[in-house]
Structure 1
Amino acid sequence: MKTILDEIVAQKRKEVKEKQQITSIEDFRNSENFILPVISAKASILDESKSGIIAEFKRKSPSKGFINKDANVKDIVTGYETHGASVVSVLTDKEFFGGSFEDLQQAKEVLNIPILRKDFIIDEYQVYETKAIGADLMLLIAECLTKDEVYNLAKTAKEIGLEVLLELHSEDQLDKVNDFIDLIGINNRNLKTFEVDIEKSKQILKQLPQDLIKVAESGISDPKTVKELRKAGFQAFLIGENFMKNENPVEAFQEFTKQSK
């Protein structure tokens, strides 16, 4: 049975083919952002003056449709940084999440903290694209990549200076972790049932390499959960919908951060 992830990956393959007809990897290499040094997400997360939260700018989700269609990127991400975000994540997938490169580039104009490009990276072309649009790190989703694909994409990212967040959903994906990964994300949500299981995430956490930054992802809506996950050993927390569904995402973030300390 075809899943939403299968649909997204098929769409990405189509997009990459179309984009390659217009812009080359060499064009990316010659872009202004490509030569700029990245801001380290690892260092920002370990900075104790910040919250450890990767605050996400997200307009839409495949399951819920638009959650904040007309949100102002610059206002929201500036507020995130002001109130202690360690990293800002920006969705760049248009078809399923209503995102764009413009959203990320507008965030880049005003932020002094790292930017994560949140998208479905399945081709080397997108790695170069990620650097060219101004991101500091990129997401790789183990669920839709083979072990070799994770290795090759992460290796290319490191060669051009990007940091890499690898997202795992289950213990059987642990063999996809390699030396080019900087941060490991564990998605608390089961992609088949969509249930959130923090205890399962804690079990996977115990099996991860000690030297990697550990990120808890998805289904975090209570500051108490952050406290619990931090105690278990997670150092960062990727949270988006919980803030973006509010009329004022910045206020929601500020209040959540205060309560999660």
Structure 2
Amino acid sequence: MNDFLQTMAAGSAERAAAADTRFTAADFDRPVAPLKLDRFDVIAEIKERSPAEGALTGPGHDRCAQAARYAAGGAAAISVLTEPSHFSGALQHLEDIVAAVPGVPVMRKDFLVDRIQVLEARKAGASGVLLIVTMLDDGTLDGMLRCAWEHGMFVLLESFDAGDLARTSRLLEQPLQREKADAGQLLVGVNTRDLRTLHVDSERLEKLAPQLPAAACVAESGLHDAADAARVAALGYRLALVGSALMRSADPAALVRAMRNQGRLAVAA
């Protein structure tokens, strides 16, 4: 790790250290909305801002209404940025969105470094969490995965390069992780934006496609329209995580629907 990702990891560790660790069984009574996958699906993201693009919302933006539009378009899940310092996110945003779209799985997207943050997400109503492979050593990653499985959550494991994917493939050799991948609870993501440098490699999805493991693989970042969804589906990806394009769209429900449908057609072909 270096540069931006290292900064994010340090900030996340501080938040984890300050988190309330007094959980009770009642904190996890809320049922988990199950992730249901088809041939190709869209994870639609609520993102207030990003370090690379600046603000993505204006004054008075209604994130819950945005999430409802995603759900109306057929999003398989909704990703919510909860990182506060560079993405203007908050765990409360996730909790509000869970209440606004009952039955739709919501994923916490952040720079998580501790199992306590998985428990925070579950308490807030999240059905899943994103974990960045390169940020976590084997022991920490294993503990966070087991915590998610204990609470019936799904996990998106995010990779930036061939080394990350190789590590994920080794992880999938473990019987428990293989079982979760086969059940569609362990997703494998490839991000075209390397968060260590913030550099975008538009060809990364294609270059890494031959190394995709046997799992539901997610194309992340740089996807703008239905043609992009069809392109990544043809490469072997079975989901697209889309944020900025949807946040800027005049009709996000229609864009979710179009990306999902064109992706499914490309898989069928």
On whether the aligned pair clears a TM of 0.5, the verdict is yes
What TM-score results when the alignment is normalised by the length of structure 2? Answer: 0.83
Q: Look up the equivalent residue of 1:30 and give its one-letter code.
A: A
- TM-aligned CA distance change 1:227 to 1:256, over 3 Å: closer
Report the Cα offset of residue 80 of structure 1: 0.8
Partner of 1:94: 84
Could you tell which deviates more after superposition, 158-167 or 238-247?
238-247
Structure 1 position 166 matched with structure 2 position 157 = yes
Work out the CA distance in 1 between the residues paired with 2:129 and 2:2. Answer: 26
**CA RMSD of the aligned region, Å?**
2.3
Larger relative contact order (Cα-Cα within 8 Å, sequence gap ≥ 6): 2
Report the Cα offset of residue 207 of structure 1: 2.6
Work out the CA distance in 2 between the residues paired with 1:36 and 1:171. Answer: 38
Q: Look up the equivalent residue of 1:59 and give its one-letter code.
A: E
Q: C-alpha offsets along residues 187-216 of structure 1, whole Å, 9 cap, x if unaligned? A: 122443612333x32343333332x21110
Q: Look up the equivalent residue of 1:97 and give its one-letter code.
A: F
Structure 1 position 194 matched with structure 2 position 183 = no
- TM-aligned CA distance change 1:234 to 1:252, over 3 Å: closer
What TM-score results when the alignment is normalised by the length of structure 1? Answer: 0.85
Partner of 1:52: 41
Structure 1 position 243 matched with structure 2 position 267 = no
Partner of 1:40: 34
Could you tell which deviates more after superposition, 122-131 or 241-250?
241-250
Matched pairs, number: 248
Indicate the percent of aligned positions where both proteins have the same amino acid: 27
Report the Cα offset of residue 2 of structure 1: 4.9
- TM-aligned CA distance change 1:258 to 1:207, over 3 Å: closer
- TM-aligned CA distance change 1:81 to 1:9, over 3 Å: same
Report the Cα offset of residue 71 of structure 1: 2.1
Question: Does the 8 Å CA contact 1:141/1:168 hold for their aligned counterparts?
Answer: yes
Q: C-alpha offsets along residues 82-108 of structure 1, whole Å, 9 cap, x if unaligned? A: 111111111111111111122111211
Q: C-alpha offsets along residues 216-258 of structure 1, whole Å, 9 cap, x if unaligned? A: 0011113212101111111100000111134554455456556
- TM-aligned CA distance change 1:71 to 1:250, over 3 Å: farther
Partner of 2:11: 11
**Map 1:109-188 → 2, pairs under 5 A:** 109-111=99-101, 112-177=103-168, 178=171, 179=177, 182-188=186-192
Work out the CA distance in 1 between the residues paired with 2:198 and 2:246. Answer: 23
Partner of 1:104: 94
- TM-aligned CA distance change 1:247 to 1:59, over 3 Å: farther
Unpaired segments ≥5 residues, structure 1: none
Partner of 2:174: none
- TM-aligned CA distance change 1:114 to 1:156, over 3 Å: same
- TM-aligned CA distance change 1:259 to 1:157, over 3 Å: closer
**Map 1:220-239 → 2, pairs under 5 A:** 220-239=223-242
Work out the CA distance in 1 between the residues paired with 2:251 and 2:202. Answer: 28
Work out the CA distance in 1 between the residues paired with 2:254 and 2:216. Answer: 27
